[in-house]
């Protein structure tokens, strides 16, 4: 009967040690998730935000502008590189009235890094401050340990399992054979 208890103790301890090692190994598994964010590159504000120059790296951008559009005009930002070559036009929302404040967002892509000039065309300003905000899409890696909670379960299993195996083996070695 004692042999059955010893074998049961050793088996249970070995099972707990195995579970503990598996829990500790799983808790160290790292998962990388890629998340995209729009990061503010520059912001210009004032009564006359008609032109500004920014040093940009390659990537995807979003230009948000709050300006006074008038006379049913189609206002737009003309974006030119350092050689004054026009790269893209970002059209702002047209107005339904003869004069009104408008907020628009436009997306564009820069291939070559360098200085780019943003010039506003066909829009006017009142004395109220207008603004232009330029953001760049950036990808951020998040490092997650998904099974971190398994660490404590694994440590607990090891703390309980190792003494069970030791006690079971020690009692087996120290027991005297009966005739």
How many alpha carbons fall within 13 Å on the CB side of residue 6? 13
Give the 3-state secondary structure percentages of the chain, helix then strand then coil, rounded to 5: 30, 45, 25
pTM of structure:
0.56
Structure letter (DSSP) for residue 110: E
Q: Would you call 150 exposed, middle or buried from its count of C-beta atoms within 10 A (0-12, 13-18, 19+)?
A: buried
Instruction: Report the pLDDT averaged over residues 137-155.
Output: 78
Torsional sign, CA 58, 64, 67, 70: positive
**What pLDDT, on the 0 to 100 scale, is given for residue 147?**
74
46/131 Cα distance (integer angstroms): 6
144/138 Cα distance (integer angstroms): 19
pLDDT tens sequence across 34-83: 788 898 998 888 766 678 888 999 899 999 888 877 766 677 888 998 88
């Amino acid at each position: 009967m004692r042999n059955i208890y010893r074998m049961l103790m050793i088996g249970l301890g070995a099972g707990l040690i195995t579970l503990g090692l598996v829990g500790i190994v799983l808790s160290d598994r790292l998962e990388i998730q890629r998340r995209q964010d729009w990061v503010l590159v520059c912001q210009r504000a004032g009564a006359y935000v008609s032109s500004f120059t920014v040093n940009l790296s390659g990537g995807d951008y979003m230009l948000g502008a709050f300006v006074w559009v008038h006379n049913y005009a189609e206002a737009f930002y003309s974006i030119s590189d350092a050689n004054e070559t026009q790269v893209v036009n970002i059209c702002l929302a047209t107005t339904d009235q003869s004069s009104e404040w408008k907020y628009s967002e436009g997306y564009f892509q820069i291939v070559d890094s360098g200085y780019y000039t943003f010039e506003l065309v066909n829009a006017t300003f009142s004395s109220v401050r207008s603004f232009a905000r330029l953001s760049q899409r950036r990808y951020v890696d998040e490092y997650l340990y998904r099974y971190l909670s398994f660490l404590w379960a694994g440590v607990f299993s090891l703390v309980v399992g190792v003494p069970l195996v030791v006690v079971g083996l020690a009692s087996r070695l120290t027991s005297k054979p009966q005739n």
